[in-house]
């Protein structure tokens, strides 16, 4: 019998297994807190009485902070060698400019998406937004099938139907109950609903497009995020100038900023980075559970923070969405291993050789997850 099968080997395996479980639980907690806290904090600061900060400026600041953080991480990877650091950035961003330009499209979409999230959360109850925003799973799945020719199991298709039904029930309930605006806040339910639907469409398309153009790329995760940040900052400033340029010129870029607003910006900037770091310890089921649990957390918190009224119809719709998210994250059955009809042997071999695929968090922060973890 191999030595690893002895008491010492078993003890080592138990310790390793316990460490992995602990990392998974920590990852679960981080994902839940990130998902719920960002939405709740944005809703809170956008409904407070007094001067309201410019959402476009907050998006720009988050992009700048993410870009600077990734530059610092690249500098650390180069062991503090400024010459290597500068040469690497020049070669990757300037010399290989066509590769950099590939990220202009997803960056534009993510900038639009981040701005739309502020619009949606400013006009929708946090719990309603959290439930409705899960439509991004449906849009991502549809774009994956159309653009990447991915296959979905019957269980996943069924979960998408349940997801759509749950979101529809929540919208019917909100229309019947009537959305109660927060004190001192001008809100439009229709504006918020349109914003979240467009945000889901953009999220699905951008994520799949990102995966399509970056599959097989040798560039580091942090470099890709720097490239994203460059375009995101420029496009964010352009959006700020075109929509709120006069107001920003009159009141200033940081008008309405408070410690709470800075907290939201830091959460948006570094939350994505934190999720990108811990997500490799979380399998697909755990991520689905984290999303489902964050809906519950957001709903409960909304009752206490925003006087949100929970009724049976909303609970039914949210329950369907929670169940659908969990079912969609379950591993595929044996049918999932079958190749797509019409794919060539070369395409199947390329898919088998792909060890890592890019994954994008809700705010457009790129991470990498193995195909095994993604359940692909």
Please count the other Cβ atoms lying within 10 Å of the Cβ belonging to residue 188. Answer: 15
pTM: 0.76
Q: Which residues contact 179 (CB under 8 A, 6 or more apart)?
A: 124, 125, 128, 187, 189
| Nearest to 190, CA basis, from 174, 173, 206 | 174
Token pair 């929708």 in the structure block, residue? 124
Alpha-carbon torsion, ordered 288, 216, 207, 341, to 10 deg = -80
For residue 341, give the 3-state DSSP assignment.
coil
The proportion of the chain whose per-residue pLDDT surpasses 70, expressed as a percent, equals 75
- Structural contact between residues 365 and 275, judged by C-beta atoms closer than 8 angstroms: yes
Q: Which residues contact 14 (CB under 8 A, 6 or more apart)?
A: none
Query: In which band, very low, low, confident or very high, does the pLDDT at 269 lie, cut at 50, 70 and 90?
Result: confident
- Structural contact between residues 277 and 222, judged by C-beta atoms closer than 8 angstroms: no
- Structural contact between residues 363 and 371, judged by C-beta atoms closer than 8 angstroms: no
pLDDT at 60 over 90: yes
pLDDT at 372 over 60: no
Q: In this predicted structure, what is the pLDDT of residue 180?
A: 55
pLDDT at 368 over 80: no
Per residue in 31-41, pLDDT (tens digit) is: 888 888 889 99
Query: In which band, very low, low, confident or very high, does the pLDDT at 197 lie, cut at 50, 70 and 90?
Result: very high
Query: In which band, very low, low, confident or very high, does the pLDDT at 371 lie, cut at 50, 70 and 90?
Result: very low
């Amino acid at each position: 019998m191999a030595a690893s099968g002895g008491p010492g080997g078993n003890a080592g395996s138990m310790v390793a297994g316990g460490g992995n479980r602990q990392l998974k639980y920590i990852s679960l907690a981080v994902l839940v807190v990130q998902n719920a806290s960002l939405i709740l904090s944005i809703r809170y600061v956008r409904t407070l009485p007094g001067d309201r900060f410019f959402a476009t400026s907050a998006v720009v600041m988050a992009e700048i902070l993410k870009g600077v953080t990734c530059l610092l991480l690249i500098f650390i990877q180069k062991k503090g060698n400024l010459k290597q650091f500068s040469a690497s950035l020049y070669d990757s961003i300037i010399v290989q400019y066509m590769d950099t330009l590939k990220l202009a499209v997803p960056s534009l979409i993510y900038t639009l998406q981040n701005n739309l999230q502020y619009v949606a959360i400013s006009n929708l109850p946090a719990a309603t937004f959290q439930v409705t925003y899960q439509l991004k799973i449906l849009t991502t799945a549809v774009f994956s099938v159309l653009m990447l020719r991915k296959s979905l199991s019957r269980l996943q298709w069924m979960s998408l139907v349940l997801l759509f039904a749950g979101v529809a029930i929540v919208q019917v309930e909100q229309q019947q109950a009537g959305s109660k605006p927060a004190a001192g806040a001008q809100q439009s339910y229709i504006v918020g609903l349109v914003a979240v639907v467009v945000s889901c469409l953009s999220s699905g398309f951008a994520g799949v497009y990102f995966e399509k153009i970056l599959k097989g790329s040798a560039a580091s995760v942090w470099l890709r995020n720097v490239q994203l940040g460059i375009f995101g900052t420029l496009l964010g400033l352009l959006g700020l100038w075109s929509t709120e340029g006069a107001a920003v010129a009159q009141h200033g870029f940081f008008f309405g900023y408070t410690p709470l607003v800075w907290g939201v910006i830091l959460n948006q900037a570094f939350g994505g980075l934190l999720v990108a770091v811990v997500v490799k310890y979380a399998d697909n089921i755990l991520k689905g559970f984290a999303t489902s649990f964050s809906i519950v957390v957001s709903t409960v918190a909304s009752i206490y923070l925003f006087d949100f009224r929970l009724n049976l119809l909303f609970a039914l719709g949210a329950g369907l969405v929670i169940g659908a998210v969990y079912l969609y994250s379950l591993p595929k059955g044996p049918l999932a291993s079958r190749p797509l009809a019409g794919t060539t042997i070369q395409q199947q071999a390329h898919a088998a050789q792909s060890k890592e695929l890019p994954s994008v968090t809700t705010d457009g922060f790129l991470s990498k997850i193995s195909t095994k973890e993604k359940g692909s």
